Structure 1
Amino acid sequence: MKSRLITLLFIPLFVFAQQWVQAQIPQVPSQIEFADLIVRITPQAQREIQLDVDALYRNPTYFKIKQDRVNLFMPIVERELRKQGVPDDLKYLVIQESGLISDAVSTSNAVGFWQFKQGTAEEVGLRVDNQVDERKSIISSTRGAALYLKKHNNALDNWMTALVSYQMGLGGAKAYFGNQFAGKKSIEVDRNTHWYFKKYLAHKIAYQNQIGVFASSTQRLAEVQVQGPVTMAALAKRYGVSEDHLKEYNKWAANGKIPSGTFTLFYIKEGSLPVEPAIFKTEEKPTQNKASQSVTAKSSPAYKQANSFPRISGNTTKSSQPNQITVNDLEGVQAPKTMSPSKFADEIGMKEKKFRKLNDLPADERVEIGNYYYTEKKKTSAEVETHVVQPGESLWSISQKYGIRLAALKSKNRIRRDSELKAGMVLNLRETRKRGEEIPVVPVVNTPTPPRTVVAQSDPIQQETPQVQPTNQPSLKNQSEKIYHTVSQGETLFAISRKYGITVDELKQWNNIGSQNIITIGQKLVILRP
């Protein structure tokens, strides 16, 4: 009698739960927008897609777990797609591909968030080796997927066929669709429409109203730049999380270790995590006892410079080869040694005139070791709003740092020559400054710029002729004793800087070392000693 009573009580609760779930299941409409297309769905196709939507909601517990995972990673997916100019709607494809499981592996050995095979991953600039597998990084893999989809859309001229090409390849999509959808802005989905697109529509319909609605927590994914080599154990102490936690959210790092270079580390934090720009503004009261400060500097906000540009991603082990890395989301390469532009252009398979034009290189400018150069046209605006000019910077170096055309940088700030630049100037990188508007100037640490030196790798060391300083000026650090250090096996920039009592930033600046901190055995590094 007691067991029958419990059963009778349980049945209404079960029925109520089922009815609640059914009430939450979205219904497939007869028309829906996708990317830049209007998609009309026939009644038969509606019923077919609805079965897939229902299946996604069938297990409420599993759906809620996946929903939290979607909301954890989706802000990053949306951001990276937006950077590449890929429609926001394509974000639902990553749910379909992997359920946002970083180390998901398919039966065909496709790996990671966006299910790349190794060959395809390397084609879109992802690093896959025994130290790093960027297919398991949400940032790198999304950027790779965006490049892949954008390339296919350029060839097919239709986002629906480009999406299906993600499953069958560009050649397969061309053979399957031909040109019937090229340029079309309205399509009909019926029983003959490719199953992969109908499966995608089911995921879009199932999740489009769930993004931002957390099922069980308000956790957010934190992103921090870390410098390797370093262990997860050391990073765990730094960020107040467990080592297992970092390994779980950073499966891109093989064996739980961060190799040499700069990488993005992920870990979970509670509450909202605002995206940090490259220039952080904080209101600061004017310093009353510094009469020498300009009026502009006193009345403007204080600016804190962040050193996150240029942003490098891709297969950095082959950074000197074309189609391996991106620089500020543009195709680029890193110079392996100092040479003439004509020789470097020849090495990367590009005409010298085009290479110079893409990088705004003057006729007498050489390609410098460690510097990054673009192999596609730079942008007219940068990703961030402003840049604080540092001592020794030029308009050209700033334009390269952010991937903005030199002419655009000059135009936005109404500056034509480097002689007009002053340390502390706050340059606009997005908006054009109004005519007659004064450029803000803020205090910066005035570190004298060291002399530009050719860093030899195997040739005899060549020192530049020291510049003659006016006798009425004090001696600066760039007149200090110049010595050279030869890089040995196993040495790092940090170890070398400790040996000579200098900072890593000084060492990098004196030797034109890029943000990837690449040095080679036998390389001669300039050291300035007072």
Structure 2
Amino acid sequence: MRKTQLIAVLILAFLLVGYGIYVKLSEEFNFNFTFNTGPQFYSSENPPDQIYFAGETVPLEDKKVSRRFAKELKSQTYWHPARAVMLDRAHFWLPHITAILKQYKVPEDLKYLAVVESGLQNVDSPKNAGGFWQIIPQTARNYGLVINDEVDERYHPLLATQAACRYLQSAHLLFSSWTNAAASYNSGINGMTQAMLRQRKSSFYQLKLNQQTTDYIFRILAVKQLVEHPKEYGYKVSRYSTLNSRIRMIKVNKSIPNLTAFAQQYGITYQTLRSYNPWIKKNTLTIKKKSYILLIPRKNTPKPPLRASKPIVPETTGTASSKPQESNANEY
């Protein structure tokens, strides 16, 4: 019995000495082992101390505001493959959208409305809203978009951005705040106006609005944080979008009587042309005093450029040419 106890004590002593030697060596030689077989997840428990939207301060010192932002930030930055796809699309489309916002003197941050509205995809809603900016037909016509038997410009990302800019400009003139203008994009101008008059408050952050509109603004703020700081939340973002290698933009400023023949000039089918340009509804395209940007797939997939080319801004007027002209300076 004593012999067994002695052996047990010796084994325990040996283990303790061995562990002590391991700890000593680890400290001396800085042995660090990290087991990692998947993507890195970054904590969003602690949001930034201060953020701005369209040049306006977000009052994070207000605990209610800070809590709502932190909750939405955690939701929007949690790692998911769909968000990686969204970031790739944002890398391609946001420079073009930003160029149009600047043309209309609308703050760059308003581009995140399109990200929240549609994920920068031509989608439809049950309320008959469509396109990147989720515009309903009547609003589209009110702000200069054409909807007829040939085209529905709500689904043209660049032209729809122009319409959104016109709306946001008018909302800003009324509310004197870009945050309020953004909120009205969800609630409607009447809804925002009535809430401000009824509650006698002029700041979005002091208004009690419907849950959808409240969530809408905080989602925009969270998406802005993610798009501008993706690495902080575990997303690896390339210096170029994968769309750069798959899509070309061409500019046409003369009517096209046969889009099937036009598509064949670029080695694609009419069906493919329509899939890349869902705003086209027929086999003809009538152009008067304007130009259109068309998307077509690249035949080959060359190595993408390290930097995006100069963004294209649609023209509102243009002179007719004998054939469709490719915009070389703006090609992707």
- TM-score if structure 1 supplies the norm length? 0.45
Contact preservation (8 Å) 1:98, 1:113:
yes
Change in CA separation of 1:181 and 1:129 when aligned onto 2, cut-off 3 Å: same
Contact preservation (8 Å) 2:96, 2:312:
no
Greater helix share, 1 or 2? Answer: 2
Q: 2:99 matched to which residue of 1?
A: 79
Is residue 55 of structure 1 aligned with residue 81 of structure 2?
no
Cα displacement (A) at 1:198: 1.4
Q: 1:237 matched to which residue of 2?
A: 264
> Which gives a bigger RCO, structure 1 or 2 (Cα 8 Å, sep 6+)?
2
Unmatched 5+ stretches in structure 2: 1-33, 231-236, 299-303, 324-332
Which of 193, 197, 204 is 2:217 aligned to?
A: 197
Change in CA separation of 1:154 and 1:191 when aligned onto 2, cut-off 3 Å: closer
Is residue 180 of structure 1 aligned with residue 180 of structure 2?
no
Q: 1:228 matched to which residue of 2?
A: 255
Change in CA separation of 1:122 and 1:208 when aligned onto 2, cut-off 3 Å: same
Is residue 46 of structure 1 aligned with residue 66 of structure 2?
yes
3-state DSSP class of the match of 1:53? Answer: helix
Structure 1 runs of 4+ aligned residues shifted over 6 Å read 189-193
Which of 275, 289, 301 is 2:310 aligned to?
A: 275
Task: Please tell me the residue identity of whatever aligns with 1:260.
Answer: T
Change in CA separation of 1:123 and 1:190 when aligned onto 2, cut-off 3 Å: closer
Alpha-carbon separation, structure 1, partners of 2:78 and 2:126: 25
Alpha-carbon separation, structure 2, partners of 1:95 and 1:238: 33
Greater strand share, 1 or 2? Answer: 1
Alpha-carbon separation, structure 2, partners of 1:47 and 1:213: 33
Is residue 107 of structure 1 aligned with residue 142 of structure 2?
no
Task: Please tell me the residue identity of whatever aligns with 1:133.
Answer: D
Task: Please tell me the residue identity of whatever aligns with 1:264.
Answer: I
Alpha-carbon separation, structure 1, partners of 2:128 and 2:102: 28
Cα displacement (A) at 1:215: 6.6
Change in CA separation of 1:17 and 1:277 when aligned onto 2, cut-off 3 Å: closer
Alpha-carbon separation, structure 2, partners of 1:162 and 1:107: 23
Alpha-carbon separation, structure 2, partners of 1:94 and 1:212: 21
Q: 1:135 matched to which residue of 2?
A: 154
Task: Please tell me the residue identity of whatever aligns with 1:79.
Answer: A
Cα displacement (A) at 1:240: 4.4
3-state DSSP class of the match of 1:267? Answer: strand
Change in CA separation of 1:119 and 1:85 when aligned onto 2, cut-off 3 Å: same
- TM-score if structure 2 supplies the norm length? 0.69
Cα displacement (A) at 1:212: 7.2
Alignment of 1:434-473 (within 5 A): none
Cα displacement (A) at 1:277: 9.1
Change in CA separation of 1:232 and 1:46 when aligned onto 2, cut-off 3 Å: farther
Q: 2:180 matched to which residue of 1?
A: 161
Task: Please tell me the residue identity of whatever aligns with 1:77.
Answer: I
Alpha-carbon separation, structure 1, partners of 2:175 and 2:49: 25
Contact preservation (8 Å) 1:21, 1:57:
no
Q: 1:406 matched to which residue of 2?
A: none
Alpha-carbon separation, structure 2, partners of 1:215 and 1:137: 20
3-state DSSP class of the match of 1:40? Answer: coil
Q: 1:250 matched to which residue of 2?
A: 277
Change in CA separation of 1:172 and 1:277 when aligned onto 2, cut-off 3 Å: closer
Which of 287, 293, 309 is 1:264 aligned to?
A: 293
3-state DSSP class of the match of 1:50? Answer: helix
3-state DSSP class of the match of 1:132? Answer: coil
RMSD: 3.5
Contact preservation (8 Å) 2:97, 2:111:
yes
Alpha-carbon separation, structure 1, partners of 2:78 and 2:131: 25
Change in CA separation of 1:196 and 1:106 when aligned onto 2, cut-off 3 Å: same
Cα displacement (A) at 1:232: 4.3
1:253-295 deviation digits (Å, cap 9, x = unpaired): 014x3422142212355435533899xxxxxxxxxxxxxxxxx
Cα displacement (A) at 1:69: 1.4
Unmatched 5+ stretches in structure 1: 1-11, 279-307, 313-326, 329-400, 402-492, 495-502, 505-530
Alpha-carbon separation, structure 2, partners of 1:140 and 1:277: 11
Task: Figure out how many residues of one structure are paired with residues of the other and give that number.
Answer: 268
Q: 2:116 matched to which residue of 1?
A: 96
